[in-house]
Amino acid sequence: MEEQVIQAALPPKLRINPLEMKDVTGALADGVRDFRRFPLLGLFFGGIYALGGLFIVVMLSLYHQPWMIIPVAIGFPLIGPFVAVGLYEVSRRHERGEPISWRGVLTEVFRQRERQLSWMAFAVLFIFWIWIYQVRLLLALFLGFKIPASLAAFATVVTTTPEGMLFLLVGTIVGAVIATVLFSLTVISMPLLLDHDIDFVTAMLTSIRTVVENPVPMLTFGLIVAVTAFIALLPFFAGLFIALPVLGHATWHLYRRAIASA
**What does the pLDDT look like over 217-240, one tens digit per residue?**
999 999 999 899 888 877 778 888
Phi, psi (deg, nearest 5) at residue 260: -130, 150
Q: Can you point out the beta strands (E) in the chain?
A: 14-16, 259-261
Give yes or no for a contact between 257 and 19, defined as CB atoms under 8 angstroms apart: yes
Give the burial class of 17: count Cβ atoms within 10 A of its Cβ; 0-12 exposed, 13-18 middle, 19 or more buried.
middle
| C-alpha–C-alpha distance, residues 174 and 191, integer Å | 27
Confidence of residue 3 (pLDDT cuts 50, 70, 90): very low
Rounded to two decimals, what is the model's pTM? 0.85
How many other C-beta atoms can be found within 10 angstroms of the C-beta atom of residue 171?
Answer: 21
What mean pLDDT do residues 192-212 have?
A: 92
Give yes or no for a contact between 126 and 132, defined as CB atoms under 8 angstroms apart: no
- What percent of the chain is predicted at pLDDT more than 90? 41
